[in-house]
Structure 1
Amino acid sequence: MNRFPTQLKKIRKEQNITQDDLASQLFVTRQAVSKWESGDSTPDLNNLIKLTDIFNVSLDNLVFGTEHDTKVDTSEFVFDPKHNRYVRRLGKMNFWDFLSGYWWAVLAIVFVIGFFSIFWTGR
């Protein structure tokens, strides 16, 4: 069951956007938007992401019609597609977050300092 065409049409009409307006925002033809809404074709991934930005809805809501109760604070978290989860933005990192994420760098620095202290003291 493909819910995307009905969801696209429903959300577009709720926000009072015409097919022409939507097509001009996506740099596609009105016929392409019409085909998406009729189910004859589907937009590529780039256009799906642009649609979520235009309508200010989640991809799950646009494609499947599902709503999630969980709201993510996008000023503090960003989606990591590699691990399929939200992670804290690096700008708000504290010391313990740094250690947990870059333990290997801290270990390498301690090793280098220890190596050079042995080398220079002659022991």
Structure 2
Amino acid sequence: MKFSEQITQIRKRNHLTQQEFADKLNVTRQAVSNWENDRNLPDLEILIAITHLFNVSLDYLVLEEGTKTKMATKLIKNTSDNRKAKLNLYTILIGTFIVILGLTCIFIKANSVEYIDHAGFLHENFYLLPVGFLLIFVGVIVIIVAGLVYLWTIRHDKRK
């Protein structure tokens, strides 16, 4: 049975109009009409509310006799999109941290004291400058690549 038929059956079994059904779920009557006419699908939050309010299982709403329905495909796609967005966010945060680390190295180098000890050795943390610039460069590259990959995946998914 299709999701649209299931929603209609649940609503009618509980002797509710589309407006009453919508009010119970805090959505518009048009949203319920779209679900029943197979023009749109509800979000996961609404599905969970339906299962609680009308005492039906999520399997009943999402699966069609053991096969994937349009609803199951939508939920899987949303999960995949969320996973991609989280990965992109973490990658950008790592890139930002690397840039901040590079700036910190340059700041320490600029504010450190260079001196010659009594044995005539120069004490200078000269390595902080190239390390700082390298970290900034790597961090910016990570951020740019993460952004481009994310934009490419979004564009690629829209073509499907």
Q: Taking structure 2 as the reference length, what is the TM-score of the superposition?
A: 0.38
Q: Bigger radius of gyration, 1 or 2?
A: 2
Q: Taking structure 1 as the reference length, what is the TM-score of the superposition?
A: 0.49
